[in-house]
């Protein structure tokens, strides 16, 4: 395909901005990245709903709403107004979108290839229309839900889910995981050839997440920020316990926790009970532009992943946004995220759950502002060179044209 031909791509994604979380960000970044490279992109997404189940009034109880946004056609479809909490509710939401997205797919104009963040509707649409389908992998869902004790390892539901996952993996023409750490696990568990995997990292919107002057001046409060989903994947106990120590040892340090999700009430209650006047809790889901603003107002940014009992194999989109605003990162994780931070020299790595190491890392950053600034610069340079939306879009388009459509 040469000349002025525009590759037509349909993106199926249950989660899409203004929904928060890695899946929504990943879907947007891929869609926008392809559009920036001249592709004709149509997105089939659920009405905004994650994580609280608050569907905006303009969508409520409508079957489908078609919009144009940033050069892309967005087909928004019905979703139940349920909080995304617990395995059962998540399963219900997934099923509701799978059904409504299939009905909404009649609004998709001609397409040449399907990229699937949400597999079921995308695969059925692709097979019915005779088009190749690429399966995105944001996380190792079945491993994660057992590690987080959301479901028992021997559950019949889990065994059925494994069969379903295997079925879809075999139907995908290619697989684009966000992390190289996923390839061995998926390949060995489901018998998928490694030739079908092509890592495409999540990338970051550098026009929104950029460096703003006015911080790292060495005066006043030293702010450590977490922004994102308040979900079971994160260890907020580690932050709050460290805050109890720092309120005495380093009173200039202030934590800010901003986001929404099922752990909001736990965090709020813990702050009040412990009298943590050095923790600011913003129990609110805000726009991506506001997130970028909050990140810029901080001195350091934290990724407090829970201890899964094994090295973490994923790579959070949050890390790229943190790097893009040029701030040092405190990475509480083992595995791929810690290796990434070390390789890019963009922050400090500590063991998840180790609050004392978190305390020591923060005190180090407060006393070594030049080191902190250097880490921030390293992260920004790396994402500029490797992970802009244009670059990941170009990379994915090449994979689609050379490895899938051929």
Q: Do domains 8-203+388-405 and 222-385 have the same CATH topology?
A: yes
Q: What is the pLDDT of residue 213?
A: 76
List, for the chain, all residue ranges whose pLDDT scores fall below the cut of 50: 1-2
Q: What SS3 state is found at 331?
A: strand
Q: What is the pLDDT of residue 120?
A: 93
C-alpha span between 287 and 284 (Å, rounded): 10
Instruction: Give Dmax (Cα) for the chain.
Output: 65
The string of pLDDT tens digits covering residues 165-202 is 889 999 999 999 999 999 998 999 889 999 999 999 99
Distances (CA, A) of 174 to 115, 384, 387, 399: 9, 27, 21, 9
Q: What is the pTM of this model?
A: 0.85
The string of pLDDT tens digits covering residues 364-377 is 999 999 999 999 99
What is the DSSP code (8-state) at residue 138?
A: S
**What CATH architecture does domain 222-385 belong to?**
3-Layer(aba) Sandwich (3.40)
Mean pLDDT score of the chain: 91
| Cβ density class 224-234: b for 16+ within 10 Å, e for less | bbbbbbbbbbb
| Domain range annotation of the chain | 8-203+388-405, 222-385
Q: What is the pLDDT of residue 4?
A: 64
Close Cβ partners of 86 (under 8 Å, ≥ 6 residues apart): 150
Q: Is the dihedral of CA 263, 265, 261, 251 positive or negative?
A: negative
Give which of 96, 95, 101 is closest to 121, Cα–Cα: 101
Contact assessment for residue 43 and residue 14, using Cβ atoms and an 8 Å cutoff? no
Give which of 355, 318, 316, 320 is closest to 336, Cα–Cα: 316
Q: What is the pLDDT of residue 232?
A: 83
Q: What is the pLDDT of residue 214?
A: 63
C-alpha span between 157 and 155 (Å, rounded): 5
**Is 8-203+388-405 in CATH node 1.20.1290.10?**
no
Neighbour order of strands in the sheet with 347-350 = 279-283, 253-260, 222-229, 300-304, 329-332, 347-350
What is the separation, in whole angstroms, between the first and last Cα of the chain? Answer: 9
Q: What is the pLDDT of residue 2?
A: 46
Q: What is the pLDDT of residue 28?
A: 95
Give which of 133, 142, 144, 143 is closest to 196, Cα–Cα: 133
The DSSP bridge partners found for residue 75 are 44, 66
Q: What is the pLDDT of residue 141?
A: 65
By the 10 Å C-beta count (0-12 exposed, 13-18 middle, 19+ buried), 4 is classed as: exposed
């Amino acid at each position: 395909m040469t000349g002025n031909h525009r590759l037509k791509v349909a993106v199926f994604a249950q989660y899409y901005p203004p929904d928060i979380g890695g899946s929504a960000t990943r879907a947007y970044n891929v869609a926008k990245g392809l559009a920036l490279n001249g592709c004709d992109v149509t997105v089939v997404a659920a009405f905004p709903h994650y994580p609280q189940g608050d569907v905006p009034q303009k969508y409520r109880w409508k079957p489908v709403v078609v919009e144009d946004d940033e050069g892309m056609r967005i087909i928004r479809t019905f979703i139940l107004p349920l909080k995304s909490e617990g395995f059962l509710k998540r399963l219900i939401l997934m099923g509701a979108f799978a059904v409504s997205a299939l009905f909404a797919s009649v609004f998709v104009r001609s397409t040449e290839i399907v990229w699937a963040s949400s597999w079921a509707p995308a695969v059925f649409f692709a097979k019915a229309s005779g088009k190749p389908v690429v399966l995105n992998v944001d996380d190792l869902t079945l491993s994660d839900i057992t590690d987080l004790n959301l479901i028992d390892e021997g559950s019949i539901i889990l065994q059925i889910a494994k069969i379903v996952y295997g079925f879809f993996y075999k139907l995908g023409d290619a697989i684009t995981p966000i992390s190289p750490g996923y390839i061995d696990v998926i390949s060995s568990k489901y018998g998928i050839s490694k030739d079908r995997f092509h890592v495409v990292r999540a990338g970051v919107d550098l026009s929104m997440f950029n460096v703003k002057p006015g911080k790292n001046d060495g005066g006043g409060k030293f702010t450590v920020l977490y922004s994102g989903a308040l979900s079971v994947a994160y260890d907020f106990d580690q932050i709050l316990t460290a805050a109890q120590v720092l309120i005495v040892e380093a009173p200039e340090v202030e934590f800010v926790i901003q986001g929404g999700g099922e752990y909001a009430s736990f965090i709020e209650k813990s702050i009040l009970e412990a009298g943590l006047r050095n923790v600011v809790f913003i129990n609110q889901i805000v726009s991506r532009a506001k997130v970028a603003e909050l990140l810029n107002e901080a001195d350091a940014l934290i990724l407090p992943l829970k201890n899964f009992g094994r090295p973490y194999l994923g790579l959070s989109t949050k890390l790229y946004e943190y790097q893009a605003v040029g701030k040092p990162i405190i990475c509480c994780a083992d595995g791929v995220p810690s290796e990434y931070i070390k390789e890019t020299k963009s922050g400090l790595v500590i063991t998840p759950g180790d609050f004392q190491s978190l305390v020591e890392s923060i005190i180090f950053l407060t006393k070594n502002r030049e080191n902190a600034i250097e880490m921030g610069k390293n992260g920004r340079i790396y994402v500029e060179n490797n992970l802009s939306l244009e670059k990941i879009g170009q990379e994915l388009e090449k994979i689609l044209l050379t490895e899938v459509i051929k």
